[in-house]
């Protein structure tokens, strides 16, 4: 490849990328626990959950207990409101999306509720808790729901862009939580379309195993087991990310799920190997996992899957500790992902007493490993990532690129607009190409 073509390919890659921004640390916050995250370590906090009323309006929230964080601790912090999360809420969402009138009523009501309580945006979490649950095949209902979600996404984005232009306020953010399983991603989500209208996608890379299974296995492995076969090869985080990117979604539009809990299984046979017959007992918060280790549970690291398990008697727990979290955070950086989602942040060790790793050790680790790091605009290489770049401001809320153009944005005529801060670099590349032609 000659120099001109090489520089052109770099320019096009930068134009298409939503990169060069600060790595997002998204803390999912469960309102009913009463444990507030440390705002200094989160770039975004997602408050759960609002609900969809029978009249198709957004409701269930009477205040924003986190808005003071922005005023007193971190003015750049963004607080979003999640809707969905529970199977009954997802069913209600499906009913809302089925008609133009009810969908429009919901869209308008979100703007009112978010502005009233000073939220910065909304997260649509219409993915069932058990990611493997039905339906997983592309039947007509699933196909229709797939189209409806894309339509809702576009209408919300149009509403938020119009409201921001009309009022002069910063545009509300729109994010969507999607499954972490290939067959669910194929059947439920039009990923390229969602990536166009959403600010980013939160990938639910956990709950690969649970009550729907009759075997013991890790619920959030980074890689698949070396002996995995057929569909089991897709039940891991790497498979989810690689599949989504293969559909054309820019990696920087993805946030990678980090569960702050493990899944406990009880063996139902004499075998004690992963994959043996078992029943799922439930989820175990990170703080309890630390207590288990202190009380004599045996820790075993699964080298193929890059995650630990702990065992005692006839019980086994697949979980993440700081070692596997670091591997996953580095993976997110290597793959040029836009951030991580800690779910839920309430399960981290808020007091610092249970794990003896300081307050909120999981969130603090993410902050430590991504401090001064900006999302790379270039494909990964074999060279170490540069983590010494000066930090940028957090993502600015602007009207979506595909919705409007601006005279101060470089427009090469392909329908997308790059960030202003890339313009000088592109100009320099073009000048270099011109000089090369002259010689």
pLDDT digits (tens, 9 = 90+) for 333-343: 999 999 999 99
Sequence ranges of the domains in the chain: 22-259+321-409
- pLDDT band for 411, please (50, 70, 90 cuts): very low
State which H helix or E strand residue 437 sits in: helix 423-438
Is 228 strand, coil or helix? coil
Please determine, for residue 430, whether its predicted confidence score (pLDDT) is greater than 60: no
The whole-angstrom separation of Cα 383 and Cα 342 is 28
Percent of the chain with pLDDT over 90: 65
Average pLDDT, the chain: 83
Topology (CATH) of 22-259+321-409: TIM Barrel (3.20.20)
pLDDT of residue 18: 57
pLDDT of residue 158: 97
Q: Tell me the average pLDDT across 192-201.
A: 97
Over residues 30-46, the pLDDT tens digits come to 877 667 777 789 999 99
pLDDT of residue 131: 40
State which H helix or E strand residue 155 sits in: helix 140-167
Q: Tell me the average pLDDT across 114-125.
A: 96
Tokens 């990536």 — which residue? 195
| 322, 365 Cβ separation under 8 angstroms | yes
| 265, 218 Cβ separation under 8 angstroms | no
Is 8 strand, coil or helix? helix
Over residues 147-166, the pLDDT tens digits come to 999 999 999 999 999 999 99
Q: Between the CA of residue 201 and those of 100, 277, 294, 323, 402, what are the distances in Å?
A: 24, 34, 37, 26, 17
| Residue 205, token pair as written in the block | 């890379």
pLDDT of residue 138: 58
Over residues 311-364, the pLDDT tens digits come to 999 999 999 999 999 999 999 999 999 999 999 999 999 999 999 999 999 999
Burial class of residue 351 in the structure, from the number of CB atoms within 10 Å of its CB (0-12 exposed, 13-18 middle, 19+ buried) = exposed
């Amino acid at each position: 490849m000659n120099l001109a073509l090489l520089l052109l390919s770099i320019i096009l890659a930068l134009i298409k990328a939503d990169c060069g921004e600060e790595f997002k640390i998204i803390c999912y916050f469960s309102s009913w626990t009463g444990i507030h995250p440390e705002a200094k370590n989160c770039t975004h906090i997602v408050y759960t959950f609002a609900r969809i009323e029978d009249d198709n309006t957004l409701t269930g929230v009477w205040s924003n207990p986190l808005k003071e964080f922005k005023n007193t601790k971190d003015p750049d912090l963004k607080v979003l409101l999640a809707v969905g999360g529970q199977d009954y809420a997802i069913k209600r969402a499906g009913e809302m999306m089925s008609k133009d009138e009810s969908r429009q009523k919901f869209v308008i009501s979100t703007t009112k509720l978010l502005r009233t309580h000073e939220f910065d945006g909304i997260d649509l979490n219409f993915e069932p808790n058990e990611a493997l649950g039905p339906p997983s095949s592309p039947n007509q209902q699933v196909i229709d729901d797939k189209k409806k979600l894309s339509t809702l996404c576009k209408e919300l984005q149009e509403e938020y862009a119009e409201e921001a232009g009309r009022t002069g306020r910063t545009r509300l953010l729109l994010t969507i939580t999607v499954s972490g399983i290939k067959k669910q991603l194929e059947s439920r989500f039009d990923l390229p379309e969602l990536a166009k209208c959403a600010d980013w996608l939160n990938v639910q890379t956990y709950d690969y195993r649970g009550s729907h299974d009759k075997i013991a296995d890790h619920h959030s492995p980074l890689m698949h087991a070396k002996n995995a076969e057929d569909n089991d090869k897709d039940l891991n985080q790497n498979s989810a990310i690689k599949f989504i990117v293969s559909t054309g979604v820019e990696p920087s539009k993805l946030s990678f799920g980090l569960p702050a809990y493990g899944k406990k299984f009880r063996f139902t046979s004499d075998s004690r190997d992963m994959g043996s017959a078992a029943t799922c007992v439930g989820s175990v918060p990170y703080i309890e996992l630390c207590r288990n280790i202190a009380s004599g549970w045996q820790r075993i690291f699964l080298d193929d899957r890059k995650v630990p398990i702990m065992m005692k008697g006839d019980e086994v727990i697949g979980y993440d500790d700081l070692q596997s979290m670091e591997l996953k955070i580095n993976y997110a950086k290597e793959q040029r992902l836009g951030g991580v989602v800690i779910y839920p942040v309430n399960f981290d060790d808020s007091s610092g007493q249970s794990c003896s790793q300081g307050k909120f050790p999981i969130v603090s680790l993410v902050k430590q490993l991504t401090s001064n790091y900006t999302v790379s605009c270039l494909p990964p290489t074999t060279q170490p990532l540069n983590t010494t770049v000066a930090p940028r401001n957090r993502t600015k809320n602007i009207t979506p690129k595909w919705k409007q153009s601006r005279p101060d944005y470089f427009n090469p005529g392909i329908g997308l607009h790059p960030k202003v801060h890339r313009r000088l670099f592109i100009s320099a590349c073009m000048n270099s190409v011109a000089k090369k032609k002259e010689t």
